[in-house]
Chains A and B, each alone.
Chain A
Amino acid sequence: MNFVKKELLFFNVGMFVFSFIALYFINQLPVAKNTVGLGAGFFPSLIIWFILIINYLLVINCFLLLRSKAEVEDEEDTEKQSLLRFFGIVGLLVLYVWSWELIDYKITTFLFLLIGMKMLYISDWKKLIIIPLGIVILIYLFFEVLLRIPMP
């Protein structure tokens, strides 16, 4: 599937779906008295309708690009995006943030930095231990000791 088709399917169609869902929830908002039609839902619905119009224009733009074969080739995604790496890094980030609610952030930050650097092909064990340890200590001293910001 070429780049423009991917954009059309994932972004533009997704935007239409998002807009209609948003409109549904906006219409559920209570209409307050004495707001002369300018209640809570007025502005969000105005913006969503605007998004729908612009999205429609973008869809037309995509179809025009698809018709023009020379432009389709230019727009093709040439980068090799690894889905596995994407889900890997997002999964790691989700796990890191979620773990803050369970374990002290110093431990999870140390582990995250160690695993993150290992994922990025750092193989020197000294670097893998010293750098995360140093960063955690710096964060503790700066945020908790100097700025007195309570950390998770």
Chain B
Amino acid sequence: MEQLLAVFSDPQVILLVFVGVFFGIVLSAIPGLTATMGIALLIPYTFALPPVVGISMLLGIYVGGMYGGSITAILIRTPGTPSAAATLLDGYPMAAKGDASKALSWATVSSFVGGLFSCLVLIFIAPQIASVALRFGPAEYFALAIFGLSIVGAIAGSNPLKGIIVAALGVFIGTIGLDPIAGTQRLTFGNANLMGGISFIPALIGLFAVSQVIKEIANSNVVKTMGEKMAYKKQRLTLKEVFQQWKPFSIASTIGTLIGIIPGAGASIATFLSYNEIKRFSKKERRKEFGKGIPEGIIASEASNNAVTGGALVPLLTIGIPGDVVTAVILGGLMIQGVTPGPMLFTENSSLVYSLFGTLIMANIFMLILGLFGVRLFARIADVPKQILLPIIVVLCFIGSYSLSNNIFDVWVALAFGIIGYFFEKYRYPLAPMILGLVLGPMIESNLRRALIESKQDWSVFFQKPISAIFISIALLSFLIPLIKKIMEMRKEKAMS
């Protein structure tokens, strides 16, 4: 406990954590740039620093990076990071109603609560939880991914079938590239750029941001009113409002932490799962409000994605397996410092471990301060007329897409998905399920095939393993219930007419 508190009195740690959080927020707010990139860029500079100081800065970027993507998701419907894709479902509608300031405040507070919750879990029960995560095999991962995909019903809008087909399309697009097991080229048509598959981030940028720009400009009625600024009300979030949402906070933080603990699951799954579960546990009248700009939608995404930070560090520190892409890069940073994660870390180097726990708490506090004070600055984006903002958004999207791997092909991907997204929205097909499909598709395929190969094509393996059986059963119910409800509603309307 002394080491945990000692970091709060070290000026070097305090300064670098602050810089890390700020850098992480700025990077992840820009579409195409990510916390992973920021950490990778700064790892070489941490070599000259003491271990606690160097790793603290990286953790600061991690925490800031998970939050920053929500800023552009809320203000300009452009998620800065994949983990903020769910935030725009309610964040942008809330901002469009004139409550940008409140939406950003909800995102900040939610990120803080989720991050702090997972820190506490990390501190008190890390080794015990890691042992459960080790029990996940291919069948369990497949079931988890299917469970994640089952929430399309919650985000599909009025017609679940539209959500399902879009998600399936996303899964199919995810198969382009090299077969994960046999290494065969699939649907690449000899194009070397496609061998790695369709890059996820340019697709995300294209679907949400570029499509929106095309839609706004193509709609001639909207163009004439573009000089008008987005209505902006200066509104503060009260403590009472925050405490009233204790239930969504609890659910989102728990889901985010648990998903973060499972290696390879990632924040994107956590955010959509959390959104679905909070919607499921809401009152009937409230469920209809999801997607129209309510705090629960923002809390679901932001609390869960920041809760992933502490959760992802559990397998990293306890068994040396990174929980997500960012912690995989942080692992590199740890090894540069001569720190070997694993069970022995807690016994041989406990002072370092508890110092890191302390810096994680510090990073969340700085994120809260920067976020709440920055709301006034960030929300000013709402003052910029759309006629100026829209072309700038396009430029940032394309530059961001290019900067991922210095490949112009990614920019073409962003543009292509922008056009696809425009037509999907034109015919009222939801976009978010495609992102889910793209994220979960590779996980579904590789684990499905591995599980079937291991079980010699015995499909009952998914129901023989308890964890897998539970996830698949819930997934099936999640798929079927919205469909059955829709059929019953149609029959009722027919009977009444």
Contacts and interface: CB of A to CB of B under 8 A. Distances in A.
Contacts of A38: 181, 449, 452-453, 457
Interface in A64-116: 64, 70, 77, 79-82, 85-86, 89-90, 93-94, 96-97, 100-101, 105, 109, 112-113, 116
A100 B407 CA distance: 11
Given A15-B165, A43-B175, A122 B184 contact: no
A121 B347 CA distance: 66
A24 B451 CA distance: 27
Given A149-B403, A149-B406, A82 B220 contact: yes
Interface stretch (B3-11, B57-65, B92-100, B385-393): B385-393
20 contacts: A10-B423, A30-B184, A35-B182, A36-B457, A38-B181, A44-B187, A54-B168, A80-B220, A81-B220, A82-B218, A94-B415, A96-B394, A97-B412, A113-B391, A116-B390, A117-B388, A120-B223, A121-B387, A127-B388, A149-B403
A3 to B, nearest CB: 8
A48 interface: yes
B467 interface: no
B344 interface: no
A121 B386 CA distance: 11
A29 B218 CA distance: 40
Is the interface on chain B under 10, 10 to 19, 20 to 34, or 35 or more residues? 35 or more
A79 B222 CA distance: 10
Interface of A: 6-7, 10-11, 15, 22, 25-26, 29-30, 32, 35-44, 47-48, 50-51, 54-55, 57-58, 61, 64, 70, 77, 79-82, 85-86, 89-90, 93-94, 96-97, 100-101, 105, 109, 112-113, 116-117, 119-122, 127, 131, 135, 139, 143, 147-152
Given A7-B427, A39-B182, A22 B172 contact: yes
Given A26-B186, A54-B161, A58-B162, 8 more contacts: A47-B175, A54-B164, A86-B214, A97-B415, A116-B394, A147-B33, A150-B406, A151-B402
B161 A116 contact: no
**Which applies to chain A's interface (DSSP): helix, strand, loop or mixed?**
helix
Interface string B209-252: 01001100111110110110000000000000000000000000
Given A100-B408, A149-B403, A89 B214 contact: yes
Nearest to A38: B449
A25 B189 CA distance: 10
A121 B428 CA distance: 29
| Interface pairs A-B: 3 shortest CB-CB | A116-B391, A120-B387, A40-B184
Given A116-B394, A117-B388, A143-B399, A47 B168 contact: yes
B417 interface: no
B398 A96 contact: yes
Interface string B159-195: 1011011001101100100010110101100000000
A70 B497 contact: yes
A79 B226 contact: no
**Which applies to chain B's interface (DSSP): helix, strand, loop or mixed?**
helix
A93 B210 CA distance: 10
Contact of A139 (B161, B210, B391, B395): B395
B214 A151 contact: no
Given A120-B387, A143-B403, A90 B187 contact: no
Contacts of A35: 181-182
A88 B411 CA distance: 19
A55 B427 CA distance: 14
Contact of B221 (A15, A43, A79): A79
A58 B168 CA distance: 14
Contacts of A80: 219-221
Which of B219, B388, B457 has the most chain A CB within a 10 Å cutoff?
B388
A70 B490 CA distance: 13
Contacts of A131: 388, 392
A43 B445 contact: yes
B392 A97 contact: no
B429 A97 contact: no
Contact of A58 (B161, B179, B411): B161
Contacts of B429: 11
A6 B159 CA distance: 17
A81 B214 CA distance: 11
Interface string B459-482: 000000000000000000000000
